[in-house]
Structure 1
Amino acid sequence: MFNNKETFKQVFTEQLVSRLGKGLEEAAPEDVYKILGGMIREYVGRQWAAANRTYRDTAQKQVYYFSLEFLIGRLMGNNLLNLGVLDMVRSGLLELGWNLEEIEEQEPDAGLGNGGLGRLAACFLDSLASLSYAGHGCGIRYKYGLFEQKIIDGYQVELPDNWLQRGNVWEERRADKAVEVRFWGHVEIGMQEERTVFHTVDYERVLAVPYDVPVIGYGEGQVNTLRLWSAESATDLSRIRTANQHNSYYKFLEYNRSVESISEFLYPDDSAYEGKLLRLKQQYFLCSAGVQSILRTFDKLGLMYRELPEYVAIHINDTHPTLVIPELMRILVDDKGLGWDEAWDITSRTVSYTNHTLLSEALEKWPAGMVRELLPRVYRIIEEINKRFCSMLLDRYPGDQERISQLAIVESDQIRMANLAIVGSYHVNGVAALHTELLKTQVMKPQYELYPERFSNKTNGITHRRWLMHSNPGLSQLISEGIGTSWITDPVQLIQLQSLKTDSAFQQGIQRIKRSNKERLADYIAHKQGIQINPDSIFDVHVKRLHGYKRQLLNILRVIHAYNEIKDQPGADRVPRTVIFGAKAAPGYYLAKSIIKLINVVADVVNHDSEVNDKLQVLFLENYSVSLAEKIIPAADVSEQISTAGKEASGTGNMKFMMNGALTIGTLDGANVEMFELLGRDNMFLFGLELADVLEYYRTGAYVARERYAQDSRIARVLDQLISSGPFCCHELEFGQILQSLLDHNDEFFVLEDFSSYVATQADIDDVYLNARAWTEKSIINIAHSGHFSSDNTIHRYASDIWDIASVKVSMNR
């Protein structure tokens, strides 16, 4: 049906009639989206089945990537691109009276993730399929995403993100592959043929029903699977936890609501006990369902379980799926009858772990009592792992109780998931060179000293198919005209653009495409927010999750300072600048929500001041998402990557902006360090404290934020404007929490310390931007080196260094 345009148009029109009973003249954009999505699903079905059949018949080793987030974005355009039919379908639809971009807008962003963790997982799935590796995703099918963000009177308001309201054209419900997940109950110990056996009784049953989404590889790639688990009620009422059967109907309703909540929300609020319990339930639900499904597939091979690590690689994306380890042990010991030592050998050669954080508060810990009550058998297994591990440590480090305490999995009535992940994995990786070094020398130093051979670095990557080819087709075409098309399957070949960095015609092409992308974004903003922005201004973009260490606060304080400078000298020449923010703050993170309010207050003042708004504009784009990022990133001139040195694990937004020709202003943090090593100081704008400076401040306690306030009149003026009767003061207490964080709590993320350097570097940006040729040359150099950060390269390294898998040739005739 996609062989040629005329056939496509014929099949499309026929399916519109046969499936929806509508002719072309009656169809709405949503109808066109549903029919086109169904056609794609039907088209790839044979390839999908062939891939699964090939993996089974050739006994391929398969990777299962467990992640609580998969921020996959919209799939329509990306799937058409990877199938090689995007241009044909666009042209065919246009002849039928439809614009493909309008049809793509009918697809909601899948509410399966929040930030970089989930977007990395999505990029990895795309690369696994495109490189013909047997690799699948395992996640939860959340009914509601994190939340839909609305900005009302400058404040973030959270609304339900009901992304499944109109269904999901890409998924296939696999009720025949449902498994049972058990909670609560208690453990009974018995003997069976001279071995101790454990039975959990009086448990509560939950059905885990998989919904499979095809992951379509590019070109000669294949179709893998993203399996998303949904929690459903079991029909056996005898397993409902109630002693009063007379109220069984109402107890069933209560049970049913409890079950549905497991896969209802991404990241439920865990500020109270019930929220924590629900998060723990979610994590075990994912791990148990996923491991059971994997072992059911392995059983079909008819092999011994000691061979499992030769055929299965389970990878956990951060600590959220760490319960994979005790759950695999539980099944091997209790259900398969293996001895502890053999089961542990199998488990610890099957599971690998990626660490994503340097923040101690983000290293998960669970109350031991909660785990004991909800997962009684799993808790016993964790206890046993800890007991045996600590026994080994006593032999290794006799008398060193402090070290043993640091390494223990269970300590002070807390289960430390990162420690369990490291002990139960054969490989642990960081996600940027600096991050991995900090894991080894700071955050996980005792673990690294114990298991140095397990640690390696795998710097994050992004898929150039979505973030360049699909989101920036004009630039993609220009690149292919300049250096050929080899970069499409080998993105490192973008380095050939170095030879064109001073080519006048190529530079003009880059400038023309950037201008077009800026106009497109300006049109979107005018439509959505009613604000006209200047495409000739510098588009200065700061879009990412809102957190103190990412320092959106530093940026908006700099904007206030810029406003003050313009007001002081309204006639002075200044390069026009449009500062664009996009971010969601966690609902309970009140400081972050206060920063959003401040950004919007500043935007309102600046954008309505006729003395200023031709030189400076500020926007906060609500409900930041993958699809919005695809509009923003190609239009950006400046990429804000300004986290406190030593806090950002890697970042992937920095790579996306780089690939689209934006220049980075940033600190030497995360993957910015590796960007700097490739680009040099001339092609980035670096500022601020470096890691050694931050660590020295931590060691000596010498940093005093109030001294910066007292010494720098610019800082004092900006901060005073937040609490006095200045233009940005709503009422006296509105931004009190921000002031407290900076002055009373001594500026944890060194915002005031880096202020002066940041302001000076922003002035350097203005100077360079005035020289269009110099700016464009730097932009081309950035694009040329961006192939280094392709997720294809990253996945090749995972495949060879961690998972030990090879690409597979799928047979369609088998």
Structure 2
Amino acid sequence: MELDRTDFKKNFQRVTTGLYGVDIEECSPSQLYTVLGTLIKAYAGEDWNKTKKYYEEEQVKQLYYFSMEYLPGRMLKSNLLNLDLLDTVRDILKDMHLDLDELIQAEVDPALGNGGLGRLASCFMDSLASLGIPGAGDGIRYKYGLFQQKFIEGHQVEVPENWLRNGNVWETRRENKAVIVRFGGQAYLYEDANGHLVPFYQNTQNILAVPYDTAVIGYQNEIINTLRLWSAEIPPHEEIHYHNLADQQSVNQLTEVLYPDDSNYEGRLLRLRQEYFLCSAGIQSIIRYYKKMDRTMQEIAEYVAIHINDTHPALCIPEFMRILLDEEQMSWGQVWEITKKTMSYTNHTIMQEAMEKWPVYMLEETIPRVYQIIEELNRRQIEKKIPLYGEEMAYRTAIIQEGHVNMAHLAIIGSHSVNGVAQLHTNLLKHEVLKEFNQLYPAKFNNKTNGITQRRWLQLANEELTALLDRKIGTEWKKNPAELKIFKSFAEDEETLNELAEVKLKNKKRFAAYVKEALDIEIDPTALFDVQIKRLHEYKRQLLNVLHIIHRYFDIKENPEKDIQPRVFIFGAKAAPSYLYAKYVIKLINSVAKLVNEDHAVGDKLKVIFVENYGVSLAELIIPAAEVSEQISLASKEASGTSNMKLMLNGALTVATLDGANVEIRDHVGDDNIFLFGLTAEEVYQYYQDGTYQSREIYETNPQVRKVLNALIDGTIPDVLEEGHVIFDSLVNDNDEYFILKDFDSYLRAQEKVDELYQDPHKWNQKSLLNIASSGPFSADFTIKRYADEIWHIDSVLPEEEQHMHHEPM
């Protein structure tokens, strides 16, 4: 996009005066950020409008991606990059004595997601627009998001994250596109004069779903897609029904927080209502848009693809059917075939507890008509499968089981495609977790390994490395990440390796400055930076990491003369508010950090940093500084992981189990450039089968393990008596569900190899370079291209000469 510098300066002053009635000099960074955002949004508006009109006029097939969470991160810098204005605007602002980086820092991270699932959805949105694939995201406009994490005496405390306090410059409220979502009451079916069954609703609670649209700007290609987030409001003309505070609160609550605490009935009910609210609003809006095309409903699957990201939006299936059956008065047979052709589903978990199940009575009370459809679907499914597969198989794969609706079963049966998100994960789904469904529908199952967008995780987060790559291999990699492999040819080039090391050191110094300012802890930027950043969950095994730190601490204390490689261990993680064990692990890490960081005898040999309120912007600061990437989940538990890809892209070396996408990272980078340890998925399943694992035996026979575990309960670590005892019991008396003790020795050996290699900077930098050069295949662009070709059957609208740049990696 071209910018006239003089016009830009005038417009900037005009918007400032228009918004705040003052000159630029009198504005705060936050106000100036809003001015710049307003201006950039206006510049992008024309392309946004043009894209929408093109999609409508050409009647292109569109994807609608439903996700309960998105984690877009700050948008100002990303939008400037994608509009090709980053350097220009930085320059113009400098002329005006303004610092673009200061304005970027003033933006608040949108609190619309929790972890990898939400970040993946945002990477996918970016890739869709950048590839010119017509697609929109549907989500919820949470007022407070997940929560803001504070540490008080080492404990996680959740406080509301009011990210919308100063408004959101990027969103556009579209009340003319609002729809009504119905809850509760009764739904009766009666036959009309034409013999159609028509539902009659009584005593429903009607809620207005208002969309807020955000432009998703493609990378320098003039394509702008839309992320639509729904907000719940009281419908006009129905205020009379909401005369008391409790009724009003029940509406406001719907879009207040992401993942309300589901440890009680009210929280679970709210979560179910949120899921239906998103599905109903989104599906109604899609059908309304489609009807403007003047095509028949029988053809809808040729123009619309609906994707269910995890089971949260599985109610899209019966809601879509409800509209086609009740409002379009189509026959069940027709509706069922159309629904399956339109819907596709990504499974993101192997953990049984994460496969959502809802009590029947809850659905009957909350969405009675939708439940009737699910019940009928279940009845027909069983009736159809019994003669083909027998009763046992038919009931094992039923949607309704033991008084619960199994959302994963609904999503599989109601879709034409079910994909896992890493090759290992997909294989486990097919042969272990969902093996009956794989027998029923072998053609539905496929793999789409997750990816990340190099635009945010390299071009935005690591400008120094981006500049180095541009100098060495040109700029083609920015549009075709497969080109990163050319960087391998510099693996023997001493000058390049030194430059790479300088870039890393600069990023480490930047993070060290942040730690000094935020936590008042001095860390040595020449120490090895070891990073584990992800949701706090037992299977991700942050606990294994902290046990290694305790072991290391003892080693330093007992061998003061020993030459030990100095290390800074960096954690970022939130625990779900009701996940007590995860909160105990957070407390343990913080207590160990206190013990280590305040021990003068240890000095710079060991430091532990746990950043508060980990999110996208902190990740953008930590990842470029990371040298070791901890990907240590128990093999067979992590579906994919994407922090592994972001860290690898920025030159960190991975310490990993063969889990999730770590397997494919190993395949691309080679055994020599990754530190593998621990049980394999096959070995884990073997233990499950034969039941021979005895963690107490390891505790009693392995002195290293015993010493570290005793530190949890003997007062060595300050102020963790309660937490220490619970964790000790889980590992020793409750047989260590995630095989931490089993993998401990193997993990220590891997860490010794890390220390050893770090003593040889040449070799370390070489392996770092090879990781960067091997990261191209993990681009979300390639992942989305595979989804578009193989699942959604949607073509890019870009001219062909621009499309070839996104060819598949070798």
Pairwise TM-score range, normalised by the shorter structure: over 0.9
Residue in structure 1 matching 2:430, options 436, 440, 454: 440
Q: Which residue of the partner structure matches residue 648 of structure 1?
A: 638
Residue in structure 2 matching 1:601, options 575, 581, 591: 591
Structure 1 residue 234 displacement after superposition: 1.6
Checking the alignment, whether the CA contact within 8 Å between 2:595 and 2:718 is kept in structure 1 is no
Which amino acid is 1:307 matched to?
E
Checking the alignment, whether the CA contact within 8 Å between 2:47 and 2:222 is kept in structure 1 is no
The CA deviation string for residues 738-759 of structure 1, in whole angstroms up to 9 with x for no partner, is: 1121112110001111110101
Q: Which residue of the partner structure matches residue 805 of structure 1?
A: 794
Q: Which residue of the partner structure matches residue 25 of structure 1?
A: 25
State the alpha-carbon separation in 2 of the partners of residues 689 and 346 from structure 1: 44
Checking the alignment, whether the CA contact within 8 Å between 2:196 and 2:329 is kept in structure 1 is no
The CA deviation string for residues 703-744 of structure 1, in whole angstroms up to 9 with x for no partner, is: 111111111111111111111132x04263342111121112
Q: Which residue of the partner structure matches residue 550 of structure 1?
A: 540
Distance 1:766 1:531, change over 3 A: same
Secondary structure in 2 matching 1:71: coil
Structure 1 residue 809 displacement after superposition: 4.1
State the alpha-carbon separation in 1 of the partners of residues 397 and 160 from structure 2: 40
What are the within-5 Å matches in structure 2 for residues 192-591 of structure 1?
Answer: 192=192, 193-237=194-238, 240=241, 249-250=243-244, 253-398=245-390, 400-401=391-392, 403-591=393-581
The CA deviation string for residues 467-503 of structure 1, in whole angstroms up to 9 with x for no partner, is: 0000001101110110111101000100001101111
The CA deviation string for residues 574-622 of structure 1, in whole angstroms up to 9 with x for no partner, is: 1110001110001111111111111111111111111112211111111
Note if 1:49 corresponds to 2:49. yes
Which amino acid is 2:510 matched to?
R
State the alpha-carbon separation in 2 of the partners of residues 546 and 696 from structure 1: 26
The CA deviation string for residues 544-601 of structure 1, in whole angstroms up to 9 with x for no partner, is: 0000000000000000000000011011111110001110001111111111111111
Distance 1:666 1:221, change over 3 A: farther
State the alpha-carbon separation in 1 of the partners of residues 147 and 712 from structure 2: 29
The CA deviation string for residues 354-407 of structure 1, in whole angstroms up to 9 with x for no partner, is: 000000000000000000111110000000000110011111113x42x22220
List alignment gaps of at least 5 residues for structure 1.
241-247
Structure 1 residue 98 displacement after superposition: 2.0
Secondary structure in 2 matching 1:722: helix
Secondary structure in 2 matching 1:532: coil
Q: Which residue of the partner structure matches residue 780 of structure 1?
A: 769
Secondary structure in 1 matching 2:25: coil
Secondary structure in 1 matching 2:646: helix
List alignment gaps of at least 5 residues for structure 2.
800-810
Secondary structure in 1 matching 2:722: coil
Structure 1 residue 2 displacement after superposition: 5.5
Q: Which residue of the partner structure matches residue 754 of structure 2?
A: 765
Structure 1 residue 13 displacement after superposition: 2.3
Which amino acid is 1:230 matched to?
S
Checking the alignment, whether the CA contact within 8 Å between 1:128 and 1:795 is kept in structure 2 is yes
Checking the alignment, whether the CA contact within 8 Å between 1:65 and 1:315 is kept in structure 2 is yes
State the alpha-carbon separation in 1 of the partners of residues 222 and 549 from structure 2: 46
Residue in structure 1 matching 2:783, options 784, 791, 794: 794
Which amino acid is 2:713 matched to?
I
Structure 1 residue 346 displacement after superposition: 0.9
Q: Which residue of the partner structure matches residue 176 of structure 2?
A: 176
Q: Which residue of the partner structure matches residue 808 of structure 2?
A: none
The CA deviation string for residues 106-144 of structure 1, in whole angstroms up to 9 with x for no partner, is: 111101000000000000000000111101100000001
What are the within-5 Å matches in structure 2 for residues 617-696 of structure 1?
Answer: 617-696=607-686
State the alpha-carbon separation in 2 of the partners of residues 239 and 313 from structure 1: 39
Q: Which residue of the partner structure matches residue 243 of structure 1?
A: none
State the alpha-carbon separation in 1 of the partners of residues 66 and 126 from structure 2: 15
Distance 1:591 1:238, change over 3 A: closer
The CA deviation string for residues 227-285 of structure 1, in whole angstroms up to 9 with x for no partner, is: 00000012334883xxxxxxx732xx322110110001100011111111100000000
Q: Which residue of the partner structure matches residue 751 of structure 1?
A: 740
Q: Which residue of the partner structure matches residue 76 of structure 1?
A: 76
TM-score by length of 1: 0.97
The CA deviation string for residues 153-187 of structure 1, in whole angstroms up to 9 with x for no partner, is: 11111100110111000000000000000001112
State the alpha-carbon separation in 2 of the partners of residues 498 and 25 from structure 1: 48
Checking the alignment, whether the CA contact within 8 Å between 1:537 and 1:578 is kept in structure 2 is yes
Secondary structure in 2 matching 1:225: strand
Structure 1 residue 4 displacement after superposition: 4.0
State the alpha-carbon separation in 1 of the partners of residues 684 and 663 from structure 2: 15
Secondary structure in 2 matching 1:150: strand
State the alpha-carbon separation in 2 of the partners of residues 175 and 238 from structure 1: 17
Q: Which residue of the partner structure matches residue 117 of structure 1?
A: 117
State the alpha-carbon separation in 2 of the partners of residues 99 and 705 from structure 1: 56
Distance 1:595 1:238, change over 3 A: closer
Secondary structure in 1 matching 2:24: coil
TM-score by length of 2: 0.97
| Number of aligned residue pairs | 799
Q: Which residue of the partner structure matches residue 101 of structure 1?
A: 101
Checking the alignment, whether the CA contact within 8 Å between 2:171 and 2:212 is kept in structure 1 is yes
Secondary structure in 2 matching 1:735: helix
Secondary structure in 2 matching 1:136: strand
